[in-house]
Amino acid sequence: MTDQVLELLREGMLSGRWRGTLPGRDRLASELGVSHRTVEQAMRRLAKEGLLASQGPGRRRRIVLPEGDIQPRHFRLRVLAYDPSDRALPFFGELLGQLKARGFTADFTTKTLLDLGMDVKRVARFVHKVPADAWIVTAGSREVLEWFCKQPVPAYALFGVKSGLPIAGCGIRKNLQPVIRRLVELGHRRIVLLSRENMIVPEPALFQRKFLETLQAEGIRPTAYHLPVWGYRPAGLHRCLESLFQVTPPTALIVEEIPTFLAVRDHLARRGIIAPRDVSLICLDHDPSFDWCDPLATHFYSDFAPLTRRIGRWAGNVARGVQDHRQTFTLARFIEGGTIGPAPERR
């Protein structure tokens, strides 16, 4: 462990992450998630190498680099994805390509938020061990994004629960009001939104609150039935679906993500529940495979190009030391396909 910490500290000094003096032992131990003793041993070895010099008791150690030893480097952007499947999405391929074209070093971390259980302490320990000049955090919970806001390294919230936080970010706005109104016109009352737990707990995010408010405005008293908590993993999703369809099955399901939508459709089909005959299905995302489906899945279409451009501008700002906390949104377009129809009771 001492060798690993030694390399992190040496690389940080040579790259210019720390200039003038090295942060104190307590702060480094907290950032790197190691003991004070490990940090102290690494510092002593750096002092023996001539890279650190004491300035007296209680004062930070001075960084001593021979002239010319600070190596030019690219600005390093690390992407902390939501789950492993994110790495295969075309959007991220385009984003990383554009960032690299701008001269940045950009790549995914070895772990994702789901790998870390969306646990703030585990995220903190992991992030402190990864050298980075800036972070892009995908679909972070409120607690995770609040933690990033308190760190010295800038972070960008790609989606996630970021409203009101001092953090740059972007997202897609989807207007559910006309969709809910259309479902109510078709006789639907048991309308369920399937969102992952971090968008609901400890309290619903803005989009989920709007969903509940829209149900209320349409004369449907919202309860936990309409916005169930099922966790993050496939097993939790399938348990939730089994429970929902046991007694009072939903007549309409609104699903946030492509993987979840495909899992829901497959789960229902294996039980003979077909859209739109038995249930109306709406996906809040777009997938090219929808164009091959008959009927076409009812969904929202989003243009991600403004998001990649905005992230590129943010990266350029923070690389120059310019503070940038602006949050932007792109409006998605609703496409009514053939997976919604009258509620079964109306047939």
Give the domain range for residue 339.
173-302+334-346
Identify residue 75 by its one-letter amino acid code.
F
pTM (2 d.p.): 0.75
Residues 271 and 308 both lie in one domain: no
CATH of the domain at 50: 1.10.10.10
84 shares its domain with 16 = no
As a whole number, mean pLDDT of residues 78-107 equals 90
Q: What is the pLDDT of residues 300-312, one digit of tens each?
A: 999 999 999 999 9
| Cα 126 to Cα 230: distance, rounded to the nearest angstrom | 26
Residue 71: inside a domain: no
Q: Is residue 68 part of a domain?
A: no
Shared-domain flag, residues 214 and 341:
yes
Within this chain, do residues 118 and 144 fall inside the same structural domain, yes or no? yes
Identity of residue 70:
I
Residues 179 and 143 in one domain: no
In a domain, 20, yes or no: yes
Q: Is the same domain home to 202 and 341? A: yes
Q: How many domains does the chain have?
A: 3
pLDDT score of 70 more than 60? no
**Residues 56 and 192 reside in one and the same domain:** no
Residues near 283 by beta carbon (within 8 Å), at least 6 away in sequence: 255, 258, 261, 290, 297, 298, 299, 300
How far, in Å, CA of 234 to CA of 114, rounded?
Answer: 12
Q: Based on the fold, state whether residues 134 and 24 are members of the same structural domain.
A: no
Q: What is the pLDDT of residues 173-219, one digit of tens each?
A: 999 999 999 999 999 999 999 999 989 998 999 999 999 999 999 99
Q: Do 91 and 103 sit in the same domain of this protein?
A: yes
Q: Which of 57-61, 64-68, 275-279 has the lowest mean pLDDT?
A: 64-68
142 and 266 share one domain: no
Task: Tell me, yes or no, whether 288 and 308 share the same domain.
Answer: no
Do 187 and 289 reside in the same domain of the chain? Answer: yes
Q: How far is the CA of 98 from the CAs of 103, 108, 223, 309, 319, in angstroms? A: 9, 14, 43, 8, 15
Classify 140 as helix, strand or coil: coil
CATH code at position 163: 3.40.50.2300
Q: Which region, left, alpha or beta, applies to residue 145 given φ > 0 means left and ψ of -120 to 50 means alpha?
A: alpha
Residue 256 lies in a domain: yes
